[in-house]
Every structure is written in C-alpha cells, then in structure tokens.
Amino acid sequence: MVALSNEIKEIFTRTKVMPMATASKSGIPNVAPMASILLVGDDTVWIMDNYMKKTLENLKENPVVALYFYDAESKRCFQLKGSTEIRTSGPEYEQFRDRVKTKSDKYPAKSLIIVKITDVFECTPGKEAGKKVL
C-alpha cells in the first residue's frame, strides 16, 4: 500500500493546477489541467469532474490516471499513478461537491473521481529522476 510522506503531501497541497493524463482503451493519450483536486489521507486523491469530456470517457473504459506536480520553490517534482472510481452520489461525492460549490456555484460538480494512488515516481531533474519512490 502506498502512503505519501509529509514532504510529498506538502508539495502536492501547494500545487494549484495539475495535468491529469488518461488513455482510451486503445491507448490514445489525453492530458487536461485540473484544479479541483484534494488529497485525502495518505493514498487517495479526489478530483471533481466539472468539465471533463475525453478524460471521463477514457476513465469509463480504462480507469487509470497519471498526475504530476512540481514545486517551483523546492524544485521537486513527483508523478502519481492510480486507479479510479467514478461517483455521482453518496457521502464522498456530496462532501466534495459542497466544497467545490462553496468556492463557486458556477461549477457543475458532476462527478467525483476517486484516485487510489498505486505508484509514485520522482520527476525532479537530476540523478533521482524517474526513480520509483513508493
């Protein structure tokens, strides 16, 4: 089981926008910026589907995701990979929908993407680049 360190969690939480990569079942890649992102505990990320199109289609047929986050201050960079579940109801969906709508009621908050983190890699340039850290 993966458990992010406090250092990685701090860098994740400081990041405002993350590229979210998915792929269709036939392997066509897609990447899109996401900001409605919340780290939950040590191994879970919630992402709100406000305006997803290809991303959501891909997750329905191939439920895996990759994200990266880069901290300009420390120059550290990490890649996460995970498996996903899509929720359009239930307490977790409702909790995140309310949080997103508190930021702005313009967000449709259509579905919650729950990412269980399976792998973490370093993407900081240098000798540790590409190393699997979790």
Ligand X SMILES: Cc1cc2nc3c(=O)[nH]c(=O)nc-3n(C[C@H](O)[C@H](O)[C@H](O)COP(=O)(O)O)c2cc1C
User: Which residues of this chain interact with ligand X, rule CB under 6 A?
Assistant: 17, 30, 32-36, 48-55
The DSSP symbol for 25 reads T
Pick 59 or 122: Cβ nearer ligand X: 59
The distance of closest approach from Cβ of residue 37 to ligand X in the complex, given in angstroms and rounded to an integer, is 6
Nearer to ligand X, 39 or 122 (CB): 39
Cα-only R_g, the chain: 15
**Shortest spacing between CB 128 and ligand X, in angstroms:** 28
Q: For CA atoms 84, 88, 92, 98, give the dihedral sign.
A: positive
Q: Give me the least distance between CB of 35 and ligand X, in Å please.
A: 4
Nearer CB in complex with ligand X: 81/110 = 110
Tell the smallest beta-carbon distance from residue 52 to ligand X (Å): 4
Q: Are 39 and 86 in contact (CB under 8 A)?
A: no
Q: What is the distance between the alpha carbons of residues 24 and 27, in angstroms, rounded to a whole number?
A: 5
| Closer CB to ligand X, 52 or 66, in the complex | 52
HSE of 119 in the Cβ direction (CA atoms, 13 Å)? 12
CA distance 113 to 10: 21
